[in-house]
Amino acid sequence: VQLQASGGGLVQTGGSLRLSCATSGFTLDGYAIGWFRQAPGKEREGVSCISGAGTDIWYADSTEGRFTISRDNTKNMAYLQMTSLKPEDTAVYYCAADPGFTMCLVGTPSVDTWWGRGTQVTVSS
């Protein structure tokens, strides 16, 4: 099982980035995909989540309206389109896969969550 986030970088306030999550080793449509982030000195927080079929989507209050999550199960990929970026969005972003429903209900991982390597997003002011 592998998940690899990519697409991070340095962007100015108000800019956009599209993160990608490449997955392998499991059947993606059976898993919810979540995006999480962790800023230096802060706890990891949920950003967004999309259910296996893409029918249920959750966003953190801080990202709703600015971020859009999507997935393409045929390509084993998930995405996070981020717009109107703010300095407080600066963090390492991780994608995660979970077979249950909790992650997309409340934006928290479970003991069954698989994690991928993160990608750094830096938003300059």
**Which residues of the chain form beta strands (DSSP E)?**
2-6, 9-12, 17-24, 32-38, 45-50, 57-59, 67-72, 77-82, 91-98, 114-115, 119-124
> For the chain, what is the mean pLDDT?
95
Q: What is the pLDDT of residues 63-102, one digit of tens each?
A: 999 999 999 999 999 999 999 999 999 999 999 999 988 8
Reported as a single tens digit per residue, the pLDDT across 5-61 is: 999 999 999 999 999 999 999 999 999 999 999 999 999 999 999 999 999 999 999
Q: Above 90 in pLDDT, residue 117? A: yes
Tell me what pLDDT residue 60 has.
96
pLDDT at 8: 98
